[in-house]
Structure 1
Amino acid sequence: MPDEYQNHKHYQNLEKVLEYLPWYIEEYIDDKRRRLSAATLMNYANDYKIFLEWTLNEGLHEGTPADVPLSFLESLTVRQVERFLSYLKFEIGNKEVTINRKLSALKSLFYYLQNIAEHRDLTPYIRRNVMAKVELNDLRESMETTAAKMEGKILFGDDYEAFRTFVAEGYGARIRANSKAYRFYQLNRERDAALVALVLGSGLRLSEVVNLNIEDVDFERYYVRVMRKGNKEQYVYCSKQAMTFLKTYVDIRKEKYEVSARQNALFVSAKMGPNQTMRRLTARAVEKMIEKYAAAFGKPNLSIHKLRHSFATKYHGAINDVPKLRQQLGHSSIQTTMIYTHIQNDELKQAVDRMDMPIDAGEEGR
């Protein structure tokens, strides 16, 4: 289940950001608390802070972000908003997908101010919504194109098992000469191998993996209990091999990491810092871990998300059941899952290859 401590920290940081923002944004955030995660609300608040600070730096309004009135939002022009989006792209260096996320956050806020929030006299907070006139960047591309980009960055065939074995055993032989790195690897070898095996054997998201607790794993029925997007609880099945690696790690977890009875996180870090604190493994730590193994394995583009793609591709090739794969991955739309039907389209490849074959004399006369 999601780490309550982590959620508490997100809410603490959210409250600090809200101190710099106008009252109506705090009201909007309060309205969304029941439906959105603490991390998402924190992202929204930061996006609003960036936008309001930009308006002040541009001289569009004076004072602090908290001083920006509703009337100012109502008077913003499309040209001004487009200038902000250009600022995100050319001065901050945000990618198109990040710009879309920030613009979506603003669209959601302005929709709330125009269509949901009301003054005591039942009039809306704002009557004019400039964000409704600004379109998101079109990021659509064909599934075939997306699949083609993905193919060179995921595990196929023998590489699937080879990478799992490399993390469990091979990496140690590669770095044995570096005593410090070797000791660190020996400490975390079972944990790292279990985490990689779990993603390759279930397709879990990074956030779902780091939020797992010991009690979420059922070794007898081969599933883990996760909280998916939208705070939906789901039992996700794992391969027997993934569970074998997990069991090996769990058996040494308490003693090797000196885990206290209060710490129920499944994946934990080695003790760090002056206070020798042991804590839940963070998402960033997992990303860096995979980067390290991937580079040494010879696939530097491999990431934790690409391991999820690798599982999905292998699952589809073996089962060929898109609805079941959609449920396994926790996709809200089946269109998202359909991408895996376009990876390694062997039938299409074979049909094109046959075009280069000489025509049989018997067929030519038909």
Structure 2
Amino acid sequence: MANQSQHYKKLSLILDQLPWYVDEYINHKKRKLSAASLLNYAHDYKIFFQWLKNEHLHSAEIKNIPLDLLESLTTQQVESFLSFLQYELDNKEVTVNRKLSALKSLFNYLQNIAETRDLQPYLKRNVMAKIEFNEIKESMETIANKMEGKILMGDEYEKFRQFIATDYGIAIKDNKKLFNFHLLNRERDTAIVSLILGSGLRLSEVVNLNLDDIDYSKYTARVIRKGNKEQYVYFSRLAMDDLKEYLQIREERYKVEKSNKALFVAAAMGPKGTPRRLTARSIEKLIEKYAVAFGKPALSVHKLRHSFATRYHIEINDVPKLRRQLGHSSIQTTMIYTHISNDDLKHAVDKMDIPKDDV
């Protein structure tokens, strides 16, 4: 899939700056994690090791930080690092937890999996095992309530789709440059939004789609999910209709060569440019543009995924199937959608104020 090779190139550049045992750990995880996940891990480790040097716990290059330094770290020093993340880098509690999780995984490998030639662990003492995660105070209901105002509900699904297909063009018709740009891309943009709203695909999964990943008879898209797992994800008939409309104009309008297998493409830049795969940032920007004009500026690619999941749960009410559709590793992540738009609960609460004789 696209972008995998780019991620691995970036990963290799970062690993060149990190200690050898981090490189060994990343190689150990390659069979289980995607290139994007490994790259995130490497970024987190670079921040940690650079902090060790900045705190004068090591004087040479971070690449040369020895295992005995990790073994000698105190819980107070690790807590100081976590405070640095939260109060100096402005990381949210959930982000601090994610970076701590990455460090816990590395230290666990060094203590319990990796072995020297004489069958001794790399680390005999694991300070990260003593560090607790931040307690995320928000309940699922609170998170769901915050999300509800930022996603599409009810007839907004079709209104947003129609807005991209036609109404946005009408709204900006007096700006010739914007209008012509919309004319060029409206079928493509409609297909992208329709596909996310009709499947719940992640941004990276949409970006990496190739032409031959679509099964037109089964209404499925082949994607590589987190953990490098291949999965065929179902999408709606409306999404298929919009996708087919885009594919009818894709090759001629974007001047795409047959060798370019990217599903969603961008027009060539400049006279010598060539059409290219649409990037993640480009898709984010086009959604942001339409969201602001539509009157829901908080709407994003990820919120479109949430919109699909909420609608699916309301109509199907099958959490295990929704979990598979979204590619969640934990069902707890999927359970958040059971707290959005809980009309049965609202009705029950409303009935409490009605005199019993009237119920």
Query: Which residue does 1:311 correspond to in 2?
Result: 308
Q: How does 1:50-199 map to 2 (within 5 A)?
A: 50-139=47-136, 141-199=138-196
Aligned residue in 1 for 2:239: 242
Residue 355 of structure 1 corresponds to which residue in structure 2? 352
Q: How much has 1:300 moved relative to structure 2?
A: 0.7
CA distance in 1, matches of 2:99, 2:248: 44
Q: Which amino acid aligns with 2:217?
A: E
Deviations 1:279-326 (A, max 9, x none): 211112111111111110000111111111111111222222222222
Q: Secondary structure at the match of 2:347?
A: helix
Alignment-mate amino acid for residue 142 of structure 2:
T
How far has the Cα of 1:71 moved from its partner? 0.8
Question: Which 10-residue stretch deviates more, 94-103 or 272-281?
Answer: 272-281
The separation in 1 between residues aligned to 2:28 and 2:181, in whole angstroms, is: 46
| Displacement over 4 Å in runs of 4+ | none
CA distance in structure 1 between the partners assigned to 2:356 and 2:43 by the alignment? 64
Map 1:286-325 onto structure 2 (within 5 A).
286-325=283-322
Alignment of 1:181-260 (within 5 A): 181-260=178-257
- 1:261 aligned partner: 258
- Structure 2 Cα separation of the partners of residues 319 and 32 of structure 1: 36
What is the Cα deviation at residue 273 of structure 1?
5.5
Question: How large is the RMSD of aligned CA atoms in angstroms?
Answer: 1.6
- TM-score when normalising by structure 1: 0.94
- Distance apart, 1:275 and its partner CA: 4.2
Bigger shift: 75-84 or 276-285? 276-285
Q: Which amino acid aligns with 2:52?
A: T
1:142 Cα shift? 2.6
Cross-structure match for 1:29: 26
1:141 shift after superposition: 3.5
Once residues 331 and 315 of structure 1 are traced to their aligned partners in structure 2, the CA distance between those partners, rounded to angstroms, is 15
The structure-2 alpha-carbon separation of the partners of 1:82 and 1:228, relative to structure 1 and needing over 3 Å to count, comes to same
What is the percentage of aligned positions where both structures have the same residue?
A: 65
Aligned partners of 1:274 and 1:74: how far apart in 2? Answer: 58
Normalized against structure 2, the TM-score is what? 0.95
AA in 2 matched with 1:87: F
Query: 1:275/1:62 Cα in 2 relative to 1: closer, same or farther (>3 Å)?
Result: farther
CA contact (8 A) 2:254 2:267 kept: yes
Gaps of 5+ in 1: none
TM-superposed deviation, 1:244: 0.3
Gaps (5+ residues) in structure 2? none
Letter in 1 for 2:251: K
Task: Tell me the secondary structure at the aligned position of residue 59 of structure 1.
Answer: coil
Asked if the contact 2:33–2:226 (Cα under 8 Å) also holds between the matched residues in 1, the reply is: no
2-side partners of 1:124 and 1:174: how far apart?
65
Q: Give the Cα separation in 1 of the matches to 2:88 and 2:139.
A: 30
Distance 1:108-1:275 versus aligned 2 partners, 3 A rule: farther
Range with bigger deviation, 341-350 or 294-303: 341-350
| Amino acid paired to 1:104 | S
> For the residues of structure 2 that align with 1:59 and 1:274, how far apart are their CA atoms?
52
Q: Which residue of 2 is the match for residue 278 of structure 1?
A: 275
Moved more, 93-102 or 57-66: 93-102
